[in-house]
Amino acid sequence: MIRVFFLTVLNKYASKWIVLFIDIVLVLLSYVIAYSIRFNISFNFNTFNFTQQLPLVIFVSIFSFLLVGSYKGVIRHTGVKDAFNVFFAITIFSMTMGVLLVLNQFFTIFKNFIIPRTIILIHYLVSLFILIFSRYAFKAFYEIISTELQSITNILIYGAGDSGIITYGAITRERNNNYDVIGFIDDDPNKINKKIDGVKIYDFSKIDEGFINKNNITEIIISTQKIKRNRLLEITDKLFRLGISVKIVPPLSKWIEGDFQANQIKKINIDDLLGREQIAIENPIVKREVENKVILVTGAAGSIGSEISRQLATYNLSKLVLIDQAESPLYELQQQLLQLKKTNFVAIVADVRDKKRMTEVFEKYKPQKVFHAAAYKHVPLMEESPYEAVKINVCGTKNIADLSISYNIERFVMISTDKAVNPTNVMGATKRVAEKYIGCLSKQKSSTKFTVTRFGNVLGSNGSVIPLFKKQIEVGGPLTVTHKEITRFFMTIPEACRLVLEAGTMGIGGEIYIFDMGKSIKIFDMAKRMISLSGLKYPDDIDIKITGLRPGEKLYEELLANGEDTTKTYHEKIMIAKTQEMDVELIRSEIINLCLNHSESSDLQIVQKIKKIVPEYISNNSIFEKLDNNL
């Protein structure tokens, strides 16, 4: 209560006049000290003359402080400028006293005004020290009082290198954070038990529940620029089990103008825990290949298509043509680009399955490059609707690919999926059929270069597991996972789209590009991390429910089909899949037949035709398994 009263008085009633009054009192105190020092640390001096001088000292000090305005500064925010103002005011005071002393010797303005010259000098030094020191002492006292009234967060900083030291400095400078850095953590045995600015460096292996409880640690900030993602996973998993909040310092490239501020420390998120290095592809060839070109993007309103569109919009295109049959998402993308002051684009509501409509678009805009992202991608839904899967994933792709040849498109880039590899479901199988059709066209003589890119799962895409987990956490759970051992490859949407743009410049056509996506991630482990990242505990706060594999769902995804291998490209993270030889004319005719006759076929007949085109397609946990048994 006393502290609260003290702070209230300071914040509301500590006016500049009180500061002025205290400064004058300190000047008088300094005057007494100066006399005492002058007379050998004693009071053996003429006290009558001393008391006669005090009114003049008060008057001159008031004059000096009013002239400079040093009393106007907010004491609890004292800085270098405030110290300089005090120095200036005391200098004026001492000079004025010195001038008056000299004048009085010649004209006897004041009686009994006899001041040893050394008093002026001693008083100058003493008062300067006391006034500046008092301000900083008051500031420190205020900070101590205010900090004790607020909740203090005891933290550890992981990383005792340059980044960790910079983070420590930023935290200690920023008082509003109320952080108390208990120690550093590092894996380097040469640093363990040493100190940085008096703060001890601990071995990470020693950070256990006992240490956390003893020091009341509630948060750990990871501040190292070179940490490997696998190590980051190990660290965060251990800390989550200890019930500690984990934050991370952003990469050096994201520091504001090269300077790090404490408010840039952010909560660690699922993107940071991919278990793989995020890859930024910077290629000037992309700029050269797309600038001043008309580029068409199908499925432009989807997760991948919209990011491709946003990245393409940053270049100096002749025209960006955005195609999607989903009206509202396309409108949202249009508004985003307009807010970014992009005007060299057109958003068209159209369906890639409608060849007449697509022909009109190609004829009007005459695109030079096509990025084909339009597709149905939800495995359970497509397992129920093979007709729709074929119509968009196969026939829609065929329409755009055929038009690309007819209109002499320079490059056609198709976005495929790892589910097309040894497919076990309708969605993956139709994407594999589309891949094969593109492969057939690439064997023909045409000026169009065809490219396929295969992706794993993308974080944050529509219908992906991450948004689903977030929604389930918001309603209190449980999180649903189909199998405890199920794994998936993951990348971020911007990464995936950088790859698409890169693929649009590589090769001679006919290649299937795959990405080095690192290790696959257990969905069950990801679910536990999502719970921890939300500040909750598994299973106490939110449980995870195993629901069983869905129709057509794989336990493990693959990036290469049976019989496929890879060759390197000039980028170490991008590889080309060596595809199997196929009878081009036979496969092409079967795909054309599938598109022509699928509307008159039953689901079983459609899937049977797909299995003929894609022999490695073996259904899993699906009603179509009986077709495999009959083969």
Give the domain ranges of the chain.
Answer: 2-149, 153-268, 284-456+491-518+558-625
Low-confidence ranges of the chain (pLDDT < 50): 1-13, 149, 256-258, 275-277, 279, 281, 561, 563
pLDDT reported for residue 239: 82
Same fold, 153-268 and 284-456+491-518+558-625: yes
pLDDT reported for residue 6: 44
pTM of the model: 0.63
Q: Does domain 284-456+491-518+558-625 bear CATH number 3.40.50.720? A: yes
pLDDT reported for residue 131: 82
The fold of the 153-268 domain, in CATH, is Rossmann fold (3.40.50)
Please state, in angstroms and rounded to a whole number, the distance separating the CA atoms of residues 491 and 229.
Answer: 13
563: number of Cβ within 10 Å: 10
pLDDT reported for residue 241: 79
Least Cα distance to 385 among 552, 549, 628 occurs for 552
pLDDT tens, position by position, 191-225 = 898 988 888 999 988 888 888 888 888 888 888 77
* Letter string b/e over residues 527-551, b meaning 16 or more CB atoms within 10 A of that residue's CB: bbbbbbbeeeebeeebebeeeeebb
- The helix-helix angle for 117-149 and 16-38 (nearest 10°) equals 130
Q: Which two tokens stand for residue 421?
A: 């590899």
Please state, in angstroms and rounded to a whole number, the distance separating the CA atoms of residues 219 and 221.
Answer: 7
Q: Which residues contact 253 (CB under 8 A, 6 or more apart)?
A: none
pLDDT tens, position by position, 397-416 = 999 999 999 999 999 999 99
pLDDT reported for residue 387: 95
Q: Which residues contact 582 (CB under 8 A, 6 or more apart)?
A: 436, 439, 440
Q: How many helices (H) and strands (E) does the chain have?
A: 22, 22
Least Cα distance to 110 among 56, 181, 32, 43 occurs for 56
Least Cα distance to 459 among 243, 303, 608 occurs for 303
Instruction: Write out 347-367 in H/E/C secondary structure.
Output: EEECCCCCHHHHHHHHHHHCC
Catalytic residues: 419
Q: What is the DSSP string of 549-573?
A: PPTT--SS--SS-TT-EEEE-SSTT
